[in-house]
Structure 1
């Protein structure tokens, strides 16, 4: 059973952090393939992860045995600039990593609710548990698309048994989202939380304090004993 306190790894600069995290992920992939013949990574969107994926794409690994999916997604087509699936395709699925298999969360349908069944069926075909779930965190303490006050948050935190995805409408507006549920995020051997800046460091430290998950959803991964969590931070 992992310790309740996440392991904080602080770096002087973002370049060093990204390099070290890329090395860590490469080690996870290599070990998983050696042990089980395959690896599953759950990835997140964002600017810093994009830099990380660019670095990973140049590392020599058995990428043809690697499955990739996403922690969350805006309900937009992969060709949309806001799509996490599209970003991962552009930054990671090239060079040495071109042979990895990416399973996106966006399905047909005008809303996430219309596509949940199809997305859930695709995810069921992956080899869970994930070897790594990579997450970010917003200034409002959301992670994946678990937004405080978001429509659908309660269902995402406590879904029906076996449900891996939920539709979320952020309270602040913007596109509807689809997100892995709390049980799906914890269906992992390891979680890495990637954050940058002093503001998010303060949010993270507040989230470590006792309190409701609904107001700081990142607590869903910080306040649990099932999966070890490492926090990667740079100014």
Structure 2
């Protein structure tokens, strides 16, 4: 794992947004479109605000999520709502957003439809930005869930999986490990000493079922983007 540390979160947001914009614009120049997968939570809000103003041909960018809570898009818990509020505005309003939700009551019943949407995006994904929970989960690959082995199975052939965590609210839909790893640039975006301590714990052992972030770190060239 490579590491890039910043003195402040503001510096991180500004510099990281510039890097993402550069990658996306280069991908558009090379292949006509670019793809960006982001994660929810509080950590990326400042990044999204700055990235939304970047000078990118956003009309040729597909934006989606690494995972989503199975709630309506206007629910406060919705990652889609977070992205629409903080990223898909200003210049980035022209981007094409690929939603991970449907009107189905159960995420299991939406896998086929959402998989078709995600598979239509430019692959490999040009930029994947992951977060990490204090239990070592990433995307919605939770160590507490019955679905964790299926989610980490590199030979499943599945792009998405429905997940029911036992230590967090809401059913989820998540990209599987092989789908996440099908990315040219994988970033782990963390802030604060507590998350850095969790990452250090993840790096100290190998059991990916205990801390699923280990599966990403063990199978991909990941760059940590961190600030206190």
The match for 2:96 is 101
Distance 1:161 1:155, change over 3 A: closer
Secondary structure class of the residue paired with 1:223: helix
Secondary structure class of the residue paired with 1:206: helix
What is the CA-CA distance between 1:210 and the residue it aligns to?
A: 3.1
5+ residue gaps, structure 2, are none
What is the CA-CA distance between 1:9 and the residue it aligns to?
A: 1.0
5+ residue gaps, structure 1, are 1-5
Does 2:138 align with 1:138? no
Partner Cα distance (1:178, 1:39) in 2: 23
The match for 2:225 is 232
Q: Deviations over 1:199-229 (max 9, x none)?
A: 11111112112321000000111111xx421
TM-score (norm 2): 0.96
The match for 2:153 is 158
Secondary structure class of the residue paired with 2:10: helix
Partner Cα distance (1:51, 1:181) in 2: 27
TM-score (norm 1): 0.93
Partner Cα distance (1:158, 1:51) in 2: 33
What is the CA-CA distance between 1:20 and the residue it aligns to?
A: 1.0
What is the CA-CA distance between 1:159 and the residue it aligns to?
A: 6.5
Partner Cα distance (1:104, 1:134) in 2: 16
Count how many residue pairs are aligned between Structure 1 and Structure 2: 228
The match for 1:3 is none
The match for 2:76 is 81
The match for 1:182 is 177
Counterpart contact for 2:67–2:174, Cα < 8 Å = yes
* Superposition CA RMSD, Å: 1.2
What is the CA-CA distance between 1:85 and the residue it aligns to?
A: 0.8
Alignment of 1:182-221 (within 5 A): 182-221=177-216
Q: Deviations over 1:82-101 (max 9, x none)?
A: 11111111111111111100
The match for 2:58 is 63
Partner Cα distance (2:117, 2:97) in 1: 11
Q: Quick one: which of 149, 158, 167 aligns to 2:144?
A: 149
